[in-house]
Structure 1
């Protein structure tokens, strides 16, 4: 899994069967800075896009293969011991049906050539999970709720699984088999980009810079006017909607420009407020919220969420037996398993698809030599 923050490739080795999922080993594979810059550049309209995308697709395929082989070496496993690789890829565009674009055809696009991964590793690779859901009329996101239900649902207990990656998404488990989910809006993306611009850091460790600042009320009110927060029903979003260019536009509308640290604190409050609003708008009847993703490490953000979601309990998925850092990587391993088993992976009530569909295309690994 490589998310919108492009900080690293998360790899999880899992054992999956009808009884459940076990997380056996993990590793974080670095993304070279030059590659990260190429991903950032291709994620916005520009010149010579097709050629640049084609080359980067291959480059990321090689990088994902390296990450896989690195995890196998770390664990002493051989490629022929692995049933399949589930590769989410790197999202470079997410413009789903809820976003009105001139062509009228919503789409999502992830790169990281699965042919290259399968050839380099020799392991069957399942990839391109999101586009079949969009073909069935869905948003193509979020896809984690089906996994959250399989891994974390408990009869009679009302839980929310909250993934705070670059974009935040929430899964509501009603304790009776019902599953709802949606993207709440920004997670770490604005926080990471703002601190990178002003302090050269990849992220705000523990949310310390934001915690020491003050919220600018005028900026917060302006951020909350984004039309995404008025949408109802299945919805998803991405960095196309929430990015520094959009933030700069909002800052330009203010009478007085806040200090950089004030902006960081306001962005943290904005993230917490939109997460809490999304969850409480969907249901006020929850027992606990369990956080996964990089945001689970942000102490300041967790404090803000605790205050806004009380009296519901707030914890991380570690309390449910899975390290919050690796839930999303495990989810795409699980989706690959579902695909190979001929089982659906989407939740139509979440994505808005017309039906349950099998997600992902299968790229066979190298066949064993005869004899």
Structure 2
């Protein structure tokens, strides 16, 4: 008998919403459908603006949450229509929301994280229970609140015969280290994924992303600039650690650039190399035994970035998650369907070995249908 959940994800790339319909019958994970919707430009601009201090933020955030909930609901409706499934057949929707601030432990021992969302409105519009606010309980237990996907990566990709690493390249890049057998799973944010690459692309050639990494491939890496970027203390910090646009944003980049006279294409090449080299360095430092690196998220579609990862990791098999059964853009949404299921079952969703929490905790809150 089917055990259906929907997972919704809008990541730090701020390009839109990905949704999956997943069946967890018999303990397996089978994606039954995928749908996506881009953000309207006004909503994207507002969410980007809410990453920075500004006027009347509470009012703007509330209205953005309402609009985001309506986009989520449209994706849910598309999923149900495409699959021919009634809303009543879905146990719950896992809706992470849009992270606009992430400050774990920065100001006191708990810190805070903020995701724009309106789970009540999603439940009202869809007629399906909603699970949201996944990060807060982990923070309350002394953790980073992120990343939350390593547990799902382990359930989906771990092998008994060899260690595997999973690299999710969204706006921020996060790495999951999955040991062979029943060892301890590790995971953390490596640093910027697509966030700076996309920003530079939008600013200089008017495109939301560097399709296939072609623009970056036309430039050359600037060694001095790359060294300045990699000198940020975050890259050398030991796990557990997590980050976001609070740190790696256009203001941070402008401070590193100073007054550049370099070609924009060369800076794009350097930003792409920053993502590739920081991810590769973290794998070699913390997961040197990994024989396979499975890449998901939008970065897996950037052929130039994938080529740079393969060049920097010659002893590692670098593959797209599509080659392991789940397309790159579906993985994170599927993870939040998985997390929603664990919440309803009263099962922990975090891994203390990843986030640094005192213990595993049941994550999220439930908004009934």
Q: TM-score range by the shorter chain?
A: over 0.9
Deviations 1:303-337 (A, max 9, x none): 10001111111111122211122000000000000
Contact 1:64-1:112 at 8 Å conserved across structures: no
Specify every segment of 5 or more residues in structure 2 that has no aligned partner in the other structure, as ranges.
1-8
Structural RMSD (CA): 1.1
Structure 1 residue 326 corresponds to structure 2 residue 330: yes
Could you list the runs of 4 or more consecutive aligned residues of structure 1 that deviate by over 3 angstroms after TM superposition?
Answer: none
Give the one of 15, 27, 33 matched to 1:25: 33
Structure 1 residue 168 corresponds to structure 2 residue 176: no
Q: TM-score w.r.t. structure 1 length?
A: 0.95
Structure-1 separation of matches of 2:25 and 2:364: 18
Structure-1 separation of matches of 2:26 and 2:138: 23
**Match of residue 42 from structure 1:** 50
Deviations 1:73-111 (A, max 9, x none): 2222111111110101111111112xx33x664111111
- Structure-to-structure mapping, 1:199-238, within 5 angstroms: 199-238=205-244
3-state SS, counterpart of residue 342 of structure 1 = coil
Shift of 1:48: 0.8
**Match of residue 16 from structure 1:** 24
Structure 1 residue 89 corresponds to structure 2 residue 93: no
- Structure-to-structure mapping, 1:22-171, within 5 angstroms: 22-97=30-105, 100-101=106-107, 105-171=110-176
Structure-1 separation of matches of 2:200 and 2:209: 9
Q: TM-score w.r.t. structure 2 length?
A: 0.95
Distance of aligned partners of 1:135 and 1:104 in 2 relative to their CA distance in 1, 3 Å threshold: closer
3-state SS, counterpart of residue 83 of structure 1 = strand
**Match of residue 368 from structure 1:** none
Structure-2 separation of matches of 1:87 and 1:293: 17
Specify every segment of 5 or more residues in structure 1 that has no aligned partner in the other structure, as ranges.
366-371
Structure 1 residue 314 corresponds to structure 2 residue 326: no
Q: How many correspondences in the alignment?
A: 360
Structure-1 separation of matches of 2:61 and 2:218: 40
